Structure 1
Amino acid sequence: MPSSHTATPDPKASVTDLAVPAADQVATIKRPRARSKNATAEPEPAAIATGDESAATRHVCVSLASLLDKLQAYLPEADLQRIREAYRFADAAHLGQYRASGEPYISHPVAVAELCADWKLDTQAIMAALLHDTAEDKGITQAELIEHFGSTVADLVDGLTKLDKLQFSNREENQSESFRKMLLAMARDIRVILVKLADRLHNMRTLGAMAASKRVRISRETMDIYAPIAHRLGLNLVYRELQDLGFANSHPNRYAVLSRAVLAARGNRHGLVEKILAAAQAALNEAQVPSQLFGREKTLYSIYRKMRSKHLSFAHIQDIFGFRVLVPDVLDCYRALGVLHSLYKPMPGKFEDYIAIPKANGYQSLHTTLIGPNGNPVEFQIRTEAMHRIAESGVAAHWLYKTPEDKPTPQQAQTNAWLQSLLDIQTENRDWADFLETVKVDLAPDAVYVFTPKSRILALPRGATPVDFAYAIHTNLGDQTVAAKVNNALVPLRTELRSGDVVEIITAPASRPNPSWLSFVRTGRARSKIRHALRTTQQAESVELGRRLLQSALRHEHLDLLTLDDAVWDKLLRWTGFKSRDDLYADIGLGKRVADILAKRVVALVSPQDALSAPLLDTIERLESRATHDAQTSLQLDGSEGISVRYATCCRPIPGDAIIGYLGKGEGLIVHQQDCDIARRLFQKDPDRWIDLSWAEECTRPFETGLSVIVQNTKGVLARVAAAISEHDSDIAHVTMDEDTQQATTELRFVVQVRDRKHLADVLRALRRLQFVVRASRAKNRTAGLGSGNS
């Protein structure tokens, strides 16, 4: 039943407040909806009844006046009317829902919309801000939003909606998947993340009503994900406030103590700040540099972080105050810098030119730290008005979506590239925990600025390596990297880059990513590209290995893979549940299916009369048939199989050894010596997964094996043994020795690379001829799991 509501005007309200139509003050209730599970179940307060109300309820007023004041400055009346309609819809949807503080829930979407209005977001973004919780909390469907407000607004709301309806194993997975969904929407439309940041900022401002445990969890999520995103987009005001609010709620006692200390210091240093401001302004005026000067206080979190990172007490933090200088143009920035450097002495190594080399988020300023009048360091930031707008509002200062026909600004291009890199990461990395951790690393605010040989500047996270640099340039460059030069000197690929380095990548067309790179790369892009390449390579190699294994098993059944017709293949694929032959081959190559069993099934399909007898062939029959298996039907290895074939480190087989292979589930083929003790024990437990192997006549690479060399404990013995190994064309991959050096003899343990058993024998003979060598032999089996191996 329709009802009317009367609101009592605030005597302090402005003319604008009182001029807002009643529809803006109180929504017309289209339909009641059940409270969400998060809503506070409170009875509706009694209404101020009017004459036509038979059963009245009161709806607490949430004014649109402040929001409309901001919007009227840049939106036409027609757009304001659409925003009023979105407000009415949201207010009706949230009827009866309250925040933990006791306020009507609609106050939150209105506050989020006001923050978006401060950034001068367009009509659709403001509507999405008002409607952003209707789908999540109140069950409003996408179709309803499209019907009332159009597909663009509905898509923005959908991008902001969490995945609460899906079931995840834990909260972290939920967080990752929600962020993944928001990321996809953000790449399509940057307004999604801007509204989300406004939403998170208002939630952080009103976090006090939550339970302590919830405050800590939300604060950590904010500082791990949302504050770095704000920084990456250049929204520095939001970034600093989110950090301070997160610090206040996650460490309330530390925040309170530090706040009191800063307050006391503010009083003690007030005179000093005024003195520096007056002196700097006078010097700039005398040099005829038009400028505005502001004193600013560092955020509590930045002070706390400096205390933690440098292990300092608050008393030893000198630069809690800084100064900002705004000038008309870029040339004036450098003129102002010269004036300040003539006024106070600059501290060596404390000057950064972010005008010539902007930060990755588009930030530009000159930073310099000077020795103040009392000997304390004083930081100045010098920038133009335009730089200041970008520094405070970042990507919100010039819209990516507003004028798509225009040429993008450098910041727009950088933001687009960053969004695309995040999309690449989420496309190639389906593990939720690893994805979230990768994104956190990629959002790290610290950066180094390095140069290509053609003087192009790249911003990379602190700790980045030449491999990160290569993948930042292009995926193919990263995949084919074999070496790197930094400042014209060859360096290891794990070398950490520093600002100002000139990096050159050396490539080889046949090179492929090395799994060991994952242990030192820093950027999410590099990590995801390496993993993607390794998975792709493993898939291709697993397909080839699986094909060879099935061919070998079919030959034992007197069949040939090439003679199987399409009808047999169709039946085999239906029986296994695969869509293609390559999928089946890959499963065989990864050890998820046994080729012998599939070969028996093919026999049954080729000879229908044998269909009943084929499944009855048991393990003993297959093992007996293997005993008569000759070299022509066994799988041959030549070392070119790649990562789908690994050589067990417990026995380290080399060409010339009798070998056998284990098809570990999902691990590919693991090669052991036939007399390996570990292989024998595992064969007794799971004989079906073992296949005969043989070596090809010519192998393509050397193989690793172990040496045990017992020597007299004399000076220089290790170097002389290593020299003897190298002289016989064998490379040393690893070496260890006994820690007790007081004994007369010591054991040196090497992992060396040899071509075959004959090559190994040559190396051992050379070692035995050394007079200080007591014994030299091939290392025996050591404790190692079956899964351990090296490709």
Structure 2
Amino acid sequence: MIDADDLIALVQNYNPKTNAKLIAHAYEYGKRMHEGQFRHSGEPYFSHPVAVAAILTEQQLDDATIITALLHDTIEDTRSTYSEIEKEFGREIADLVDGVTKLTNLQLSSTETKQAENFRKLFMAMSKDLRVILVKLADRLHNMRTIRSMRPDKQVQKARETMDIFAPLAGRMGMQWMREELEDLAFRVLNPEARNSIIRRFITLQRETGDVIQRITADMELELEKAGIKAEVLGRAKKPHSIWRKMEEKKIGFSRLSDIYGFRVIVPTEADCYAALGAVHQRWRAVPGRFKDYISQPKSNGYRSIHTTVSGRDGKRVEIQIRTREMHEVAESGVAAHWSYRDGVRAENPFAVDPAKWISSLTERFDTEEDHDEFLEAVKLEMYTDQVFCFTPKGEVVKLPRGATPLDFAYAIHTRIGDGCVGAKIDGIRVPLWTRLKNGQSVEIMTAEGQRPQVTWIDIVATGRAKTAIRRSLREEDKERFIKLGRELARVAFEHVGRRMTEKALTTAANHLGVHNSTELLARIGSAELTARKVIETLYPDLPQETGDEIDAARAVVGLNPGQTFRRAACCQPVPGERIVGISYRGKGVMIHAIDCPALAEVEEESGRWVDLHWQEGRHPAVHNVSLDLTIANDSGVLGRICTLIGEQRANISDLVFIDRKPDFYRLIVDVELRDIEHLHALMLALEADSDVASISRHRDLERKP
């Protein structure tokens, strides 16, 4: 464990004007608070906060962040309090320590709903002061470096959390070196065999080919010197996890993986970057499709660099990043570069991103998310993706994550453009909407009046912004359908009791039922959250809801001879309100068919058997069986809700048979007992309006003949 003087010396290397007294005081205070506490390794616990502070000095961070690192576990693990830290070190440091404490208590790898809410809290903490997450990342880095002293199950849990959350977050903040180290430390725990295998391959390769990095570095320095470019060339082999990921993505073995070495060329000016690129491409052949200019189109976290891949010695591919010294500092520190110090003053790096603007751009679209799963999906999409740069027909640049489609492009321009999208052209050629965009492409979006987002678009788009806009539009569209259906159901209910549906009546019912307004009332009726019958009962509590006596089911049909019996045909299942015809059968009475039943064609020439019939006028009982062909989503609770919805429509389920079972949908035949054709239409409308009902139709089985 380094002592206070050594830590202060590390800070003074980049900030001679540091408040050495305050850092020394924080060191002694933290040491005193953690006295008697030990880590799993047996070391004094305070060695951990000191190591975290030392990691942050490598980022050349301000005094407040270094002191926060020294005190970051005091509120949680010792008798220290927020008030005491505020009294000793000031409000700024107390708020930072409190922020880190709250982050530590978030269970980011818990269940989905809780994880989403905790991610929301994480982003809120970041939006208040990004230095909180810088301390937390350094804390996680030191814990991963010393993870061997933990129980095996705890090691796996922490490694998985690091791989899923902290490493991508460090990358999203532009701290690529930290992302790579966190990934590799987690990889060592989660898949040690794979990591050791890659390291062994590296050793074998080095033995066979010698020091490739040194040779290529020397070659590049020579070429740049010939071109009159002053440059520093840094070479390195890629981390084992980075190599493993490439092998998994490309489905190839180590021997076929070519770009396992990376080089950085650091030059004085931006003009030198492009001159160096020319010199490199003159000497070595560029690999098509592997060029990215992040200088003219910087990443949102401030990252600037030119990326190219060339075929080097023996045909081996080599990745090269070309940047200035200032760009390099931002590339190493990311958003943290905003707080870095040099010679006692905050470094004026023109490429450092304002953290407030960066976090605002990252979180603005998440604020509108009401659904936890959608929020979590959007956060992970933002954290895990790299970017591609495409152009509008006017030459404006649109930044999108890798894997984005023309639909993502459309929504990135404006929600209205996305909602109205009917097609797209890439570089002047019409392409499907699911086409994945590539760097430098020009994208033209075609729109049409009246076009609405489709449900299938959710699976096409890659950005959280597009997914959110599509879901919102679909919900609004559903609401419009529900309002329309609710208005029809309410109208029928009012007419059924001899009343006229008016806006005033609906508004009065809404007020009594605690609904915001009449429109919301109709939407709830249409979505089956509320029944039209309930509205009638609310407005007219003393009015008999069922007028007149029910018609005897045995006398429901008019036109039969005395003593003649009838049955409803099983093939077409006619119900009161439909036009019908009777077909007489010797010894079996009369079979009633709907007038449009295809089975009537078989007796078309036997006019003597046809009987002119119609239904009795009046209220029929709900005893007439009708089969419905339903396709519903295969999700938990859907079938139960559909059955409840049928019950709410005062229809009884007499039978239910599954016809087809798929992982995503079920198809089933449901037999329901209904009053009449109006009852059938109301039920089918209510079912059709449910978001989990893919299709509904009346099932007519012509094989079920008399």
Once the two structures are TM-superposed, the CA of residue 519 in structure 1 deviates from its matched residue by 1.5
Say whether the 8 Å CA contact 1:163–1:177 is kept in structure 2. Answer: no
- The C-alpha deviation readout for 1:109-153, integer Å capped at 9, x for no partner, is 332222223223333333433343345555866666656655544
Once the two structures are TM-superposed, the CA of residue 167 in structure 1 deviates from its matched residue by 10
Distance 1:319 1:102 in 2: 42
- Which residue of the partner structure matches residue 338 of structure 1? 278
Secondary structure of the equivalent of 1:324?
strand
Q: What TM-score, normalized to structure 2?
A: 0.71
Q: What TM-score, normalized to structure 1?
A: 0.64
Say whether the 8 Å CA contact 1:163–1:174 is kept in structure 2. Answer: no
- Which residue of the partner structure matches residue 261 of structure 2? 321
Does residue 629 of structure 2 align to residue 650 of structure 1?
A: yes
CA separation of 1:528 and 1:415: change in aligned 2, threshold 3 A = farther
Distance 2:107 2:248 in 1: 39
Say whether the 8 Å CA contact 1:162–1:178 is kept in structure 2. Answer: no
Higher relative contact order (CA 8 A, sep 6+): 2
Distance 1:486 1:222 in 2: 38
Secondary structure of the equivalent of 1:119?
coil
Does residue 168 of structure 2 align to residue 231 of structure 1?
A: no
CA separation of 1:261 and 1:400: change in aligned 2, threshold 3 A = closer
Once the two structures are TM-superposed, the CA of residue 451 in structure 1 deviates from its matched residue by 0.9
- The C-alpha deviation readout for 1:550-602, integer Å capped at 9, x for no partner, is 454344344545444988765443xxxx5666555443332122220232133
CA separation of 1:230 and 1:262: change in aligned 2, threshold 3 A = same
- Which residue of the partner structure matches residue 590 of structure 1? 527
Say whether the 8 Å CA contact 1:227–1:243 is kept in structure 2. Answer: yes
Secondary structure of the equivalent of 1:498?
coil
| Structure 2 letter corresponding to 1:182 | L
| Structure 2 letter corresponding to 1:492 | P
Say whether the 8 Å CA contact 1:189–1:401 is kept in structure 2. Answer: no
Once the two structures are TM-superposed, the CA of residue 675 in structure 1 deviates from its matched residue by 14
Distance 1:118 1:623 in 2: 89
CA separation of 1:457 and 1:571: change in aligned 2, threshold 3 A = closer
- Which residue of the partner structure matches residue 243 of structure 1? 183
Distance 1:163 1:206 in 2: 20
Say whether the 8 Å CA contact 1:453–1:503 is kept in structure 2. Answer: yes
Contiguous gaps of at least 5 residues in structure 1: 1-60, 605-609, 632-647, 653-661, 697-702, 704-733, 735-750, 752-777, 783-791
| Structure 2 letter corresponding to 1:485 | K
Pick from 377, 385, 395 the counterpart of residue 455 of structure 1.
395
> Within 5 A, what are the aligned runs for 1:390-401?
390-399=330-339
Say whether the 8 Å CA contact 1:592–1:664 is kept in structure 2. Answer: no
Contiguous gaps of at least 5 residues in structure 2: 557-574, 579-626, 632-640, 658-667, 702-706
Say whether the 8 Å CA contact 2:11–2:18 is kept in structure 1. Answer: no
Distance 2:31 2:309 in 1: 51
Distance 2:647 2:372 in 1: 21
Distance 1:189 1:441 in 2: 23
| Structure 2 letter corresponding to 1:284 | L
Say whether the 8 Å CA contact 1:227–1:238 is kept in structure 2. Answer: yes
- The C-alpha deviation readout for 1:174-220, integer Å capped at 9, x for no partner, is 43332221112223332233222222212211211222232223222
Once the two structures are TM-superposed, the CA of residue 535 in structure 1 deviates from its matched residue by 2.7
Q: Please provide the CA RMSD for this pair.
A: 4.9
> Within 5 A, what are the aligned runs for 1:739-750?
none
Distance 2:324 2:190 in 1: 36
- 119-128 vs 139-148, greater mean Cα deviation: 139-148
- Which residue of the partner structure matches residue 537 of structure 2? 600
Say whether the 8 Å CA contact 1:354–1:364 is kept in structure 2. Answer: yes
Distance 1:650 1:371 in 2: 62
Distance 1:106 1:423 in 2: 38
- The C-alpha deviation readout for 1:217-246, integer Å capped at 9, x for no partner, is 322222222222222221111121112112
Say whether the 8 Å CA contact 1:589–1:668 is kept in structure 2. Answer: no
Does residue 373 of structure 2 align to residue 427 of structure 1?
A: no
Say whether the 8 Å CA contact 1:590–1:668 is kept in structure 2. Answer: no
| Structure 2 letter corresponding to 1:290 | K
Say whether the 8 Å CA contact 2:509–2:539 is kept in structure 1. Answer: yes
Report the count of equivalent residues.
599
- The C-alpha deviation readout for 1:361-397, integer Å capped at 9, x for no partner, is 4333333434434443333332221221122112222
- Which residue of the partner structure matches residue 216 of structure 1? 156
CA separation of 1:143 and 1:543: change in aligned 2, threshold 3 A = farther
- Which residue of the partner structure matches residue 612 of structure 2? none
Once the two structures are TM-superposed, the CA of residue 249 in structure 1 deviates from its matched residue by 1.5
- 535-544 vs 499-508, greater mean Cα deviation: 535-544
Secondary structure of the equivalent of 1:380?
strand
Pick from 57, 67, 70 the counterpart of residue 117 of structure 1.
57
Secondary structure of the equivalent of 2:399?
strand
CA separation of 1:669 and 1:393: change in aligned 2, threshold 3 A = farther
Once the two structures are TM-superposed, the CA of residue 508 in structure 1 deviates from its matched residue by 4.2
Does residue 48 of structure 2 align to residue 69 of structure 1?
A: no
- Which residue of the partner structure matches residue 353 of structure 2? 412
CA separation of 1:480 and 1:384: change in aligned 2, threshold 3 A = same
- Which residue of the partner structure matches residue 565 of structure 2? none
- 487-496 vs 353-362, greater mean Cα deviation: 353-362
- 244-253 vs 369-378, greater mean Cα deviation: 369-378
Distance 1:541 1:144 in 2: 59
CA separation of 1:295 and 1:554: change in aligned 2, threshold 3 A = same
| Structure 2 letter corresponding to 1:596 | R
Say whether the 8 Å CA contact 1:572–1:602 is kept in structure 2. Answer: no
> Within 5 A, what are the aligned runs for 1:129-168?
129-137=69-77, 152-162=92-102
Identical pairs, percent:
39
Pick from 122, 143, 146 the counterpart of residue 203 of structure 1.
143
Secondary structure of the equivalent of 1:103?
coil
CA separation of 1:335 and 1:663: change in aligned 2, threshold 3 A = closer
Distance 1:430 1:134 in 2: 35
Pick from 312, 316, 334 the counterpart of residue 376 of structure 1.
316
| Structure 2 letter corresponding to 1:226 | F
- 294-303 vs 474-483, greater mean Cα deviation: 474-483
Distance 1:505 1:418 in 2: 29
Secondary structure of the equivalent of 1:100?
coil
> Within 5 A, what are the aligned runs for 1:614-629?
none
> Within 5 A, what are the aligned runs for 1:356-755?
356-399=296-339, 412=353, 416=357, 419-425=360-366, 427-432=368-373, 434-508=374-448, 510-539=450-479, 541-542=481-482, 545-546=485-486, 549-550=489-490, 552-559=492-499, 560-564=501-505, 570-573=511-514, 584-604=521-541, 610=542, 650=629, 681=670, 683-684=672-673, 693=682
| Structure 2 letter corresponding to 1:424 | R
Secondary structure of the equivalent of 2:452?
coil
| Structure 2 letter corresponding to 1:278 | A
